[in-house]
Amino acid sequence: MVRPPVVTEIELGQSSAAAVSETPVNASLGPAWVRPLAMALLAISTVGVVWMLWQHREIYGSFGAAPDSPPVAGALVLGVIAVMSLAVVVLRPERGNLHALVKTSAVWSVAMLVGMMLAWTAVFRADRQDAWHGAPVTSETEVDAYLAANTPPGANPIRIPTGVLVQSMEFLNGDNVQMTGYIWQRFAPDTPPDLARGVVLPEAVEEAYDMTEAYRYEENGVETIGWYFAAVLRQPFEYAEFPFDEQDPWLRLWPREFSQDVILVPDFAAYTSSDPASFPGVEREFVYSGWTPMYAGFSYSNQPYDTSFGIGDASARLNLPGLYFNLVLERSFVGPFFEHFIFAIAAACLLFGLLVLTTDDEHLKSRFQLTTSGVLGAATGLFFAVILKHNQLRGGVGSRGVTYIEVIPIILYLMIVVVVLNAILLASPVKIRFIEHRNNLLPKLAYWPVLLGLVFASTLAVLFRN
């Protein structure tokens, strides 16, 4: 008769020890309220997304209009929250399983990244006609309507048809742009002979009056005079949304005649089309150098002056609307992406590598050959590299304020400091549960969601301000 094997107390103790060793360190079922809370957030955020999109449709008439509106930003935020809540409901990270924690961190990071890319797409699709300086006019009817509403009562100014052809444009720095091209005017037979011919470019640094007469032509009593201009114009450009910004380098056209009431009107008859999308008044072989053209055309803006320029009494001077020629441009994203974003991605990955290698396990320290001082030295080198790239960025853009893309190096500064502090606290006698838990696991899991979450929040705050 075969007897069953006898399990001794020693063997039982060894088996128990082995079972304990296979259990994840510090693993627990976690708070019972985590999953119900995630389910509630999932339901609320899903309903919120639908409501936000409905509000957008009610305000703007369609889902495709004004994609950079605040309701769209709210829908993006709630959508990200819904995905994050769904990850908690499905993966159950509160149980403490390592694979579930890593997958949850990855899903949260991807949700932030996708939300940010959707925000970029919305900004790209937004209509840029709001960048015009003043009120756009595309026909003589619109000109008559604008002048009737904005010309002082009793005024009867002389109208001079004026046209523009811009042949080249280059941004010299953050405030100066150089333009070259032709400006012409048509003078009817009843134009006073003593009226000064020509225009003034008031924003020009030096060449406001320096134009070269290129041609003079007369037909049916109408005299046409054309001038060639090359001027450096100083204008206030806004770079807060760089590299998603749009700019409007414009020409403000003043009549050269100051002693008589003269108003310049667009010479629409000189163009085959006045549709802004067909770029009237812009050279077809135009070199945009990192910009994408959106619209071109004329506009009016009423800029009142509190002086008569020394001609008569200031109270008797008429403030007439000024004529502008606009060239609305949108910056090409590809160049700044490869110049700045690729560097930021590489720096963030290197910093994450330092965080992953940071440990208080002596065996892993000897394997990685990375001490606290080593983390500090590597982080210092990375910090100075980010500073140099940040200075290069500010010098290239020339903005007086902080641009959108500058948020990324600022966030990297913060993350570098946090990684260094994490390494110091991990090696110090001070025990912080968040850092000590499972050999510095939580900071590693939180790195990408926090980094991408900060960039996502900054994207919405800067690009969805309207």
pLDDT score recorded for residue 436: 82
Taking the model in full, what pTM does it have?
0.82
What would the DSSP string read from start to end of 407-464? HHHHHHHHHHHHHHHHHHHHHSS---HHHHTTTTHHHHHHHHHHHHHHHHHHHHHHHT
Q: Is the model more confident about 18 or about 409? A: 409
Q: Is the model more confident about 32 or about 78? A: 78
Most confident stretch, 28-32, 77-81, 327-331: 77-81
What confidence tier does 27 reach under pLDDT thresholds 50, 70, 90?
Answer: very low
pLDDT score recorded for residue 309: 66
Average pLDDT value for residue range 19-48: 75
pLDDT above 70 covers what percent of the chain?
88
DSSP letter assigned to residue 23? S
CB 198 within 8 A of CB 213: no
Q: What is the rounded average pLDDT for all residues in the chain?
A: 87
pLDDT score recorded for residue 421: 94
pLDDT score recorded for residue 130: 65
Tell me how far apart the alpha carbons of residues 204 and 230 are, in angstroms, rounded to a whole number: 9
Q: Is the model more confident about 399 or about 201? A: 201
pLDDT score recorded for residue 312: 63
Sort 153 into a burial class: Cβ within 10 Å, 0-12 / 13-18 / 19+.
exposed
Tell me how far apart the alpha carbons of residues 408 and 454 are, in angstroms, rounded to a whole number: 9
What would the DSSP string read from start to end of 173-228? SSSEEEEEEEEEEEE-TTS-TTSPPSEE-TTBSS-SS-EEEEEEEEETTEEEEEEE
What confidence tier does 277 reach under pLDDT thresholds 50, 70, 90?
Answer: very high
In angstroms, the Cα distances linking 410 to 344, 355, 448 are: 11, 19, 16
The pLDDT tens digits for 68-127 are 888 999 999 999 999 999 999 999 999 999 999 999 999 999 999 999 999 999 988 877
Least confident of 11-25, 60-74, 155-169, 198-212: 11-25
CB 135 within 8 A of CB 68: no
pLDDT score recorded for residue 19: 38
Residue 413: is its pLDDT beyond 80?
yes
Sort 405 into a burial class: Cβ within 10 Å, 0-12 / 13-18 / 19+.
buried
The pLDDT tens digits for 174-191 are 899 999 999 999 999 999
Tell me how far apart the alpha carbons of residues 259 and 256 are, in angstroms, rounded to a whole number: 9
Which residue from 257, 244, 197 is spatially nearest to 225, judged by alpha carbons?
A: 197
Q: At what angle do helices 407-427 and 372-397 cross, to 10 degrees?
A: 170
